[in-house]
Amino acid sequence: MTLVAEGPFGLQSADLPMLLFALVGGVICIVWIVARSVADVLKTMQIQETRRELAAYVAEGSIKPDDAVRLLSTDSSGIESMIHNAVEWGTLTPEKATELIKQARSADAPVSAGEKVASKSAG
């Protein structure tokens, strides 16, 4: 029979390392979640600031509206590589991957300011 000291709340001394491990892991997870949230907020703020700056440049005539749209369009290469990896891992069918890539590429196509005005007036 092994004697194990009993601590507060009925914990045995053998449970202490496991409890510390769980607490440290929990703290690390909480810190990571908070840091990720702060990073996402900062990224969103930077995107909005960039949009406001481009709108100001367009308003003062420094750049053309078409150039501003082109600057704001995102590159789909990162999305395409993630889709490719999902197909390789078997988590996405090739048919669905093709559809997603088409959607990503059509979202990246620069739209001229004239087309935007025409689509707004038509709809």
Mean of the pLDDT values across residues 37-58? 90
pLDDT, residue 76, reads 56
pLDDT, residue 119, reads 45
> What proportions of the chain, in percent to the nearest 5, are helix, strand and coil?
80, 0, 20
Indicate if 59 and 78 belong to the same structural domain.
no
- When divided into structural domains, the chain yields a total of 2
Indicate if 28 and 67 belong to the same structural domain.
yes
pLDDT, residue 77, reads 63
Structural domain including 42 reads 24-72
Q: Is residue 8 part of a domain?
A: no
Digit-coded pLDDT (tens) for 50-108:
889 988 988 998 888 887 777 777 655 677 788 888 889 888 888 888 888 887 777 65
Continuous segment of H or E residues that includes residue 20: helix 16-60
By the 10 Å C-beta count (0-12 exposed, 13-18 middle, 19+ buried), 121 is classed as exposed
Indicate if 63 and 87 belong to the same structural domain.
no
